[in-house]
Amino acid sequence: MATATETDAMRRAVALSARALGDTAPNPVVGCVILDTSGAVVGEGWHRRAGGPHAEVHALTAAGPLARGGTALVTLEPCNHTGRTGPCAQALIEAGIARVVFAVADPSPTAAGGAATLRAAGVEVESGLLAAEAEAVNVAWLTSARKGRPFVRWKYGATLDGRIAAADGTSRWITSAESRSDVHRLRAEADAVVVGSGTLIADDPHLAVRGIEGATQPLRVVVDTRARIAPTAPVLDDTAPTLVAVGKDADTAHLPGVDTVRLPYAADGAGLDISALLAELHARGVRSVLLEGGPTLAGAFVAAGAVDTVTAYLAPALLGAGKAALAEAGIGTIADALRLDVTDVTRLGPDLRVTAVPTVPTATAPDEES
């Protein structure tokens, strides 16, 4: 049974793991705290970037010989495989750690098994401490590992009557500066930002992170079935990488040097196949997607069962007419409505940010190797 000291240390490890959100794909975010034999903190660490040392290695390095006989608190089960770095379970054993407490079991087939390796070496192992908190921080990677596709957060800004643009098409600015700043935080935490060609033509967005020093720029993804994007579009500048997803027979002659991928059409012929898009992004190492719209693309994601979280920025304004936040989503009757569980409501300036998750499991893509 974990002690109060260990619980405090795990809470610190969870906070450390969050520092690397958006920086570690295709790896998870992980934090680790080492306690010596007296229960004092002697080492801390978090996984900072894919290919670099894991959280346990950073913490063990900081602890040095004081780790021997001590306890390691880790937000994710220590890995048990050799990739670009060695297995963390073995590193803990070699450092002489006597006890390991981790929050969440590793669901990936390649890295799981660290707990068994530790126990076989005589290390005391406990799991589940602050599991909900650790899972919340690492939800994107855990979702991708379990479903074989990236985690998808659909974000939109709207008036209280659900309009994302006025009747004349104007939409700047419905939400406040505080809300727009928070969107850049979400971009910085995502591996990819996805928009459709309608949003691109209407708003000509840049989609890069601004105002967050040191942020890793996400992959900008434009879903443009007929390749209507202009080669001078701001989203194609060199601020961040960009991928343009087009239909299999689209003419891309006007986009020399632009990273494009040809995808199959959706079964109904309207737009691209969402599962194919997510499979392509997953293959490129994307583990978290921020879907920024518009309503047609959002509807396609909802219809495909590919929305894991909804974040709505609601402005205290009414329009009465104009574009709705969500278009056709394959829902024909109230009984089929996608019901959501509100997990957070926060005031940002004059706006409300509402975060909600589906109350029933969303559809999963075919199993893929993580």
What average pLDDT does range 59-76 have in this prediction? 97
What's residue 264's pLDDT?
Answer: 95
* Contact (Cβ atoms closer than 8 angstroms) between residue 306 and residue 152: yes
Which residue, 159, 157, 247, is CA-closest to 203? 157
Q: Does residue 363 have a pLDDT over 80? A: no
Higher pLDDT, 247 or 362: 247
Distance, C-alpha 210 to centroid of its chain: 18
Lookup: tokens for 151: 């985690």
Domains of the chain: 4-137 (3.40.140.10), 143-358 (3.40.430.10)
Catalytic residue annotation: 56
Percent of the chain with pLDDT over 70: 96
Percent of the chain with pLDDT over 90: 83
3-state secondary structure the chain: CCCHHHHHHHHHHHHHHHCCCCCCCCCCCCEEEEECCCCCEEEEEECCCCCCCCHHHHHHHHHHHHHCCCEEEEEECCCCCCCCCCCHHHHHHHCCCCEEEEEECCCCCCCCCHHHHHHHCCCEEEECCCHHHHHHHCHHHHHHHHHCCCEEEEEEEEECCCECCCCCCCCCCCCCHHHHHHHHHHHHHCCEEEEEHHHHHHHCCCCCCCCCCCCCCCEEEEECCCCCCCCCCHHHCCCCCEEEEEECCCCCCCCCCCCEEEECECCCCCCECHHHHHHHHHHCCCCEEEEEECHHHHHHHHHCCCCCEEEEEEECCCCCCCCECCCCCCCCCHHHCCCEEEEEEEEECCEEEEEEEECCCCCCCCCCCC
Long-range pairs for 259-262: beta carbons < 8 A, 24 or more residues apart: 260/227
Residues 124-150 have pLDDT tens digits of 999 999 999 999 999 999 999 999 999
Residues 242-292 have pLDDT tens digits of 999 999 999 999 999 999 999 999 988 789 999 999 999 999 999 999 999
Q: Does residue 45 have a pLDDT over 80? A: yes
What's residue 5's pLDDT?
Answer: 97
- 286, 142, 185, 344 alpha-carbon torsion, rounded to 10°: 140
Lookup: tokens for 326: 């969500």
Q: Does residue 338 have a pLDDT over 70? A: yes
Residues 93-134 have pLDDT tens digits of 999 999 999 999 999 877 678 999 999 999 999 999 999 999
Instruction: pLDDT band for 84, please (50, 70, 90 cuts).
Output: low
What's residue 369's pLDDT?
Answer: 37
The end-to-end CA distance of the chain, in Å, is 32
What's residue 368's pLDDT?
Answer: 41
| Look-up of token digits 């893509």 | 365
What's residue 214's pLDDT?
Answer: 87
Residues 146-163 have pLDDT tens digits of 999 999 999 999 999 999
What average pLDDT does range 321-342 have in this prediction? 92
What's residue 202's pLDDT?
Answer: 79
Residues 200-256 have pLDDT tens digits of 887 888 899 998 988 999 999 999 999 999 999 999 999 999 999 999 999 999 999
